[in-house]
A = this chain, B = another copy of it.
Amino acid sequence: MKDMSWESYRIFLEVARQGGLTGAAQVSGLSPATVGRRVLQLEEAMGRPLFLRSQTGYRLTGEGKALFEQLQAMEAIARGVESWRQEGQGASTVRLMAGTWVTWLVCENMSAICTERDPFRLDLSVSERRATLAHREVDVGIRAVEPVEPTLISRPAGDVAYAAYRRKNSGETLAGRWLAVSEDDVVSAYLRWPHERAGGVIAVLVSRPRSLLDLVRAGAGQAVLPCFVGDLDPSLERAGDEIRELRHQQWIVANSEDRHRRDIRTVSDRLFRLLKSHADLFAGKRPSRT
């Protein structure tokens, strides 16, 4: 029997990722009708059900999950080829993944990472959409734990300190009013802290960490933030000492197979310099503001 078309593999991956035909159709530039047909053919060829169909979308079956695992590895290589292609056309893309606050810092200092004259484009993605380096979904990442995968190379980029912050001159009126991220969206230790350790009640819940800063600025309460965020904001002040138990190191991580890519190296180096130049801020050593 003829082999299954590789093109169906890619469509399958997108349907599995997007959780439905509509989403997959949009990102792949096809129509939902075609996507549905191709998935049907693939299941036919594979001789097993790959999805659980419902009016609300497609969910992977157990066997579908097994296939998904395999094909992700295939996609990783395809991504490598894709960037090799872009490289040849002098228009490469570096995908940088970071947490909410490092992303924020990068945005504030974009000119230190990527200027108009650089021959590459930058794709920033926050870690909520948990992209994986192993599958080459991103080229450079920032992690709070040292990676163990042998296929990754990492470089330590200093400590990160945390403290509670409130609007300046708000005195003790906000003492018990904590701002926090809803527990469903908690992905890091510092986000869990208000839930576990804060004595007072939690006044406002938000779904994105970024909103914490906006709320504190507005005087809605106090929240735990990285020191390099809180200390950099002139309208904020610390509501207590550094929370030592949250301090951790951070690493810049890249895929070792992409060692040869100049653009990745460039971004990685510049990011390293940016973090180093803010090392004192990251570590919570409150410098005198200019």
Contacts and interface: CB of A to CB of B under 8 A. Distances in A.
Given A7-B7, A47-B88, A70 B66 contact: no
Interface in A1-33: 2-7, 9-10, 29
A58 B228 CA distance: 58
Given A47-B89, A89-B47, A6 B84 contact: no
Contacts of A3: 78, 82
| Contact-residue bracket for chain A | 20 to 34
A71 B81 contact: yes
Interface string A74-90: 10011011101100110
Question: From DSSP, what is the main secondary structure of chain A's interface residues?
Answer: helix
Contacts of A74: 74, 77-78, 81
Nearest to A70: B81
Given A47-B85, A85-B45, A85-B46, A10 B4 contact: no
A46 to B, nearest CB: 5
Interface string A153-175: 00000000000000000000000
A260 to B, nearest CB: 11
Contacts of A78: 3, 6, 9, 74
Contact of A84 (B66, B73, B88): B66
A74 B70 CA distance: 11
A48 interface: yes
Given A45-B85, A46-B88, A48-B88, 17 more contacts: A2-B29, A4-B82, A5-B7, A6-B78, A7-B7, A9-B78, A46-B85, A47-B85, A47-B88, A47-B89, A66-B84, A70-B77, A70-B81, A71-B77, A74-B77, A74-B78, A74-B81
